[in-house]
Chains A and B, each alone.
Chain A
Amino acid sequence: MFQDFAYLIILLPVIAFVLTLFFGKKFPANGGILSVIAVFSAFVISAGILIEIYPSGCVEQSWPWFAILNFGILIDPLAAVMLCMVSFVSFLIHVYSVGYMSHDHAKPRYFAETALFTTAMLGVVLSDNILQFFIFWELVGLCSYLLIGFWYRKPTAAAAAKKAFLVTRVGDVLFLAGIIILYLNIRDFQIPDGAYLLQFQTMFAAIGHIPPSQLTVITLLFFGGAVGKSGQFPLHIWLPDAMEGPTTVSALIHAATMVTAGVYLVARTFPIFLASPDALTVVAYIGGFTAIFAATMGLVMNDIKRVLAYSTVSQLGYMMLALGTGIVIGAEVVGVSMFHLISHAFFKALLFLCAGSVIHGLGLQDLRQMGGAFSKMKITAITMLIASLALTGIPPTAGFFSKDAIIEGTYAYGIHTGSMALYAMGIIAALLTSIYTYRLWFMAFAGKPRTNYHAHESPPSMTVPLIILAILALVFGLVAHGAFGGFLEHTYSENLIEDAAAIGGHHIATEHAHPPTILFYMPIIVGVLGFVISWLIYSKRVINMSSIVSKRNPIYNLLLNRYYQQKIYIEFIAITIVYRVLALLGEFIDRRIIDGIIDGISYVIITIGEFIRRIQTGVVQHYAAFVVAGVVVLILLLQGGIL
């Protein structure tokens, strides 16, 4: 029954967007109510569909658009869980926003933009063809730009918005190039009636007709898009800056939903990746590297939101890493990665909302000025601790189940390929994650206040979502870990996966080696180890940090300066190469040569226009003469055989 209303999932938020944008002021909560209702309805429908198609099923609806293109909805298990997660998290954050944004004057704009964002994200998830996917993907990017720059009068926010837009644009262009190359390869492919060329099903059926080298190029370009959106190295630099927007936006877009679009892209087109093992290896190593790289920077950040931002980048790396191990494990990794994605969405949204609550309650954003907030903000502190436990993979939280599965996958990968590098990456990143997470918690809530601040607990509209998310972070893993993987396995048929793997020239291992007990418990061990280290350093202060945290320590400097990315990306790439060389060269060509030509042409055209205008004398005899002359000329043309 819910399936018949699948289109409402994106239609309702669109309507909310339009109404809120134009008439927001006339509704309760300045239009917030509309967005909340629309997103909640979308969640209800999504959840209904999920229940209907469980344990194996699929909703496919398609309308011809024009030419070879269609509008289509594809809700398979992969899309269904993603839809539920996106709409649910978005709904909670909308509720939270009603309280959080209550003092902002531009509320209608805020709620309109978040509603549009939700539309775009849900659109990405339920698209049944890659072009529609791309259209919504771009819309997601646009909304991200608008919301990061929500306080556009603040120069840092405007700059961050621009940076996010430009950096993700690099990925988007790669993605588009991938779509174009894919299209060129499959355009002559015979498609069955009722199917369309760019539909995922058609694409997958056509994999065998694409030369392997092209396949690698296509998947790498797709991955380029995913790298941009999901903040993977080297396009991760926009994500920490994106924290300039309201904290709710950070939670919604830059933690729970939009950044997962990249992971979703890889999962959605996973059969193609499977057919191209080189690309999948790249995915794994980029993911693993990003997981460690971002975690090291998370260690030294002092802005509470930035720590979380780097943590997000790092966790997204985990998800990519998980997908990358698909070479060995097969389509099961989609389930593993998505499971981490969803549990991450819950606990990361929770972390951000807790951070928002802390910022709201303390009026502070710098961890060094906080401390001892536990007694003042009990709910926030406890929910944040739960989120931290989940993030560091301590049982029985959601994070334990999801992270464990990933690391187990990397172990199986290691056994099969003989390289334990991915496993090591996973473990190191887990340790670092644990350290920075508890560092954050201890610095904020433990000990005594380091500055004078007036703390108060946040209002219920903010704490209730915190509690709901905390419960989810606690129990989601316990409840869902059994059914989840099995459900998601129905996303792709076994034949499809086998064929794709055969094209890729590798075999999927059916029997996975289970790691020895010590390695099996390694994620928990490093999680606890991180906790102990943080506790010793930041709560007990057994180590004098001033010797480490000093400008003379090169490692600390390296991390604090974020590997000198500012220098490399901004000063070298952006300013020197892009601006000084490319932009100025482009400007020279544009101004001197192209503009000159254009000006010349327009001058000529306008002059000709002025001249021809005089033919139009206004004398009707002349007009009649032209008619007759036209007839004569036509006769001459046809008769004289000039043509």
Chain B
Amino acid sequence: MNYSPLIPELIVVLTGLIVVFFGLFLPLRVKKGLGCISALALIASIVYILKSGVLSTSERAGIYFYEAYAIDSLSQFFKLVFLAVSLIVVIASIKRYENNKYQDEYYGLLLFATFGMMIVASSNDLVTLFIGFELASMSTYVLAGFDKTNPKSLEAAMKYFIIGSVSSAIMLFGLSLLYGVTGTTNIEGISAYIAVNGILDAAGIAILVFLIAGFAFKMALVPFHMWAPDTYEGAPTMISAMLAAGSKKMGFVAAFKVFIVALIALRLDLQSVFFILAIITMTYGNVVAISQKSIKRMLAYSSVAQAGYIAMAFVIMTPLAMGAGMLYILSHAFMKSGAFIAVGAVTHMMWTRNKNVENADYLKNFAGLSQRAPYTALAMLIFVFALAGIPPTAGFVSKFFLFSSAIQAGYIALVVVAILNSAVSLYYYARIVKYMYVLPPAGETLKEPRAYLLAMLVAIIAIFAIGIYPAPFLDWAMNAAATIGM
């Protein structure tokens, strides 16, 4: 059997082990190199996936380990999302944690978290799925509390852990019910069983609801989102980027696999459930984001709202909608991680000037940023405009395809709500721009760290590439959608 499609996973997990192992011996001054190695490993994985050509076909490239692990364009598409977010985060972290003596653990955990997400993306079996989920979750629980001296970070990690555990329990319950009813954990097996035998409605509803709750925790759909703002705000900004841009997508890929592939035969009204969830989530996220003082928290709510848009794909359920949803996921990964990194850059610059600045991520610190840190301000401008969906950015293209797929499918009301929401969101995005570009500077010029700028540049290039020439990306997304039978 040809195991070469698994090379990206191998690169990531081996690099993780190497980083942790050598971290034990290396003195602090060379530990920075571990971050560089991690970044290189991530780049190598990305390049391998792009080169392998799996993305441009809807054929399955391979299935491994007793049909538990599948490589197809869906899995590779999501791996690309996860790897890209990790890469952006690692690049910025090289500067952020250059003097931290535990940075080897940081990079190790980051790579393991990425590995967990990659497993979820490829899993073809409920057990594999759950293990990937937990590996990613465990690693990120620790990472959320990585700034050990900061009580907010610890609080964030604790809340994330508790709600995460509750959700895992609920999800596991749903998975076990599913196994109990169908007698298999293989996703295609489940699909086949249900199609032939059918299952009791009551059991179906219980399974569906428990799984929705479990996945929606990761996706941060209302009302399963409450951990998200606290965690994103308190966690180290890099990790917030990872959670909001990367690990959130794990919930979506799991949902694509389980709801669309395995449970579509249930014929329960999944669409209406997601219709309500999507509308509540986007509206709630946008409305609450308006009144936030902390930009990280604002981005957290904006990320909740964006999850609401993406969830529209589960309502519309047409091939174009699925493809558009995936394209949105890809775009969102860059926009959101970029925005968090920009905030991270600002807080970093504040802290280098004065270690004891409190609430460094507050909006008021962004006043006049265009003069204090022009490149960071410009990058942030691009990210928030992309998030708001202004052309020629990725945000516009994704919204365009998603909304037009909804119109094609006749969900006019949903589109109206979504567009009104976009308008509302422009308020708080534009407010950031106003602070950065209109208000007088809140201090002297800052020295912009290059690693952060590089990380943001990566995100910006991707945002414009997707925004200006979306055809190849949409192709990938449509192929990915085709692999789940769309």
Q: Is B363 interfacial (CB-CB < 8 Å)?
A: no
Check if B213 sits within 8 Å of A639, measured CB to CB.
Answer: no
Please report the number of residue pairs spanning A and B whose Cβ atoms sit closer than 8 angstroms. 95
Q: Is B287 interfacial (CB-CB < 8 Å)?
A: yes
Check if A638 sits within 8 Å of B209, measured CB to CB.
Answer: yes
**Contact partner, B471, options A64, A629, A633, A634, Cβ 8 Å:** A64
The interface-forming segment of A318-326, A480-488, A602-610 is A602-610
Given that A65-B471, A606-B291 are known contacts, is A638 also in contact with B213, CB under 8 Å in the complex? Answer: no
Check if B427 sits within 8 Å of A637, measured CB to CB.
Answer: no
Check if B269 sits within 8 Å of A620, measured CB to CB.
Answer: no
Check if A609 sits within 8 Å of B213, measured CB to CB.
Answer: no
Q: Is B210 interfacial (CB-CB < 8 Å)?
A: yes
Closest approach, in angstroms, between the C-beta of A375 and any C-beta of chain B? 55
Given that A620-B158, A624-B163, A626-B226 are known contacts, is A638 also in contact with B471, CB under 8 Å in the complex? Answer: no
Q: Is A613 interfacial (CB-CB < 8 Å)?
A: yes
Check if A66 sits within 8 Å of B209, measured CB to CB.
Answer: no
A:359-395 near B, CB below 8 Å: none
A:595-622 near B, CB below 8 Å: 602, 605-606, 608-610, 612-613, 616, 618, 620, 622
**Contact partner, B217, options A63, A64, A612, A627, Cβ 8 Å:** A627
Residues of B close to A633: CB separation below 8 A: 223
B:388-439 near A, CB below 8 Å: 397, 400-401, 404, 424, 427
A639–B210 CA distance with the chains assembled, in angstroms:
13
Check if B224 sits within 8 Å of A627, measured CB to CB.
Answer: yes
Interface size class of chain A, counting residues whose CB lies under 8 Å from the partner chain: 20 to 34
Residues of A close to B206: CB separation below 8 A: 635
Residues of A close to B469: CB separation below 8 A: 65
Check if B288 sits within 8 Å of A612, measured CB to CB.
Answer: yes
Q: Is A630 interfacial (CB-CB < 8 Å)?
A: yes
Contact with A along B267-280 (1 / 0, CB 8 A): 01100110010000
Check if B226 sits within 8 Å of A623, measured CB to CB.
Answer: yes
Check if B208 sits within 8 Å of A638, measured CB to CB.
Answer: yes
Contact with A along B115-127 (1 / 0, CB 8 A): 0000000000000
Q: Is B237 interfacial (CB-CB < 8 Å)?
A: no
Residues of B close to A64: CB separation below 8 A: 471
Check if A634 sits within 8 Å of B212, measured CB to CB.
Answer: yes
**Contact partner, B273, options A609, A616, A623, A634, Cβ 8 Å:** A634
Residues of A close to B166: CB separation below 8 A: 624, 627-628
Given that A634-B213, A643-B272 are known contacts, is A627 also in contact with B284, CB under 8 Å in the complex? Answer: no
Check if B470 sits within 8 Å of A612, measured CB to CB.
Answer: no
B:7-48 near A, CB below 8 Å: none
A602–B284 CA distance with the chains assembled, in angstroms:
14
Closest approach, in angstroms, between the C-beta of B266 and any C-beta of chain A? 10
A643–B209 CA distance with the chains assembled, in angstroms:
14
Residues of B close to A631: CB separation below 8 A: 170, 209-210, 213
Check if B287 sits within 8 Å of A634, measured CB to CB.
Answer: no
Q: Is B474 interfacial (CB-CB < 8 Å)?
A: yes
Given that A63-B471, A634-B209, A635-B209 are known contacts, is A626 also in contact with B290, CB under 8 Å in the complex? Answer: no
Check if B205 sits within 8 Å of A606, measured CB to CB.
Answer: no
Check if A66 sits within 8 Å of B210, measured CB to CB.
Answer: no
A624–B170 CA distance with the chains assembled, in angstroms:
11
A40–B291 CA distance with the chains assembled, in angstroms:
54
A643–B271 CA distance with the chains assembled, in angstroms:
10
The residue on B at minimum CB distance from A631 is B213
Q: Is B454 interfacial (CB-CB < 8 Å)?
A: no
Residues of B close to A610: CB separation below 8 A: 291
B:348-368 near A, CB below 8 Å: none
Check if A620 sits within 8 Å of B159, measured CB to CB.
Answer: yes
Check if B210 sits within 8 Å of A613, measured CB to CB.
Answer: no
Check if B268 sits within 8 Å of A638, measured CB to CB.
Answer: yes
Residues of B close to A643: CB separation below 8 A: 269, 272-273, 276
Closest approach, in angstroms, between the C-beta of A310 and any C-beta of chain B? 39
A-B pairs with beta carbons under 8 Å apart, 29 shown = A63-B471, A65-B469, A66-B471, A609-B287, A609-B288, A609-B291, A610-B291, A612-B287, A613-B291, A618-B230, A620-B163, A620-B227, A623-B159, A624-B163, A626-B223, A627-B166, A628-B166, A629-B223, A631-B170, A633-B223, A634-B273, A635-B209, A637-B272, A637-B273, A638-B208, A638-B268, A638-B269, A638-B273, A643-B269
Interface, chain A (partner B; CB < 8 A) = 63-67, 602, 605-606, 608-610, 612-613, 616, 618, 620, 622-624, 626-631, 633-635, 637-639, 643
Interface, chain B (partner A; CB < 8 A) = 158-159, 162-163, 166-167, 170, 202, 205-206, 208-210, 212-213, 216-217, 223-224, 226-227, 229-230, 268-269, 272-273, 276, 284, 287-291, 397, 400-401, 404, 424, 427, 469-471, 474
| Given contact pairs A608-B287, A623-B227, a sample of 5 additional A-B residue pairs in the complex whose CB atoms are under 8 Å apart | A65-B470, A66-B470, A623-B163, A634-B212, A639-B202
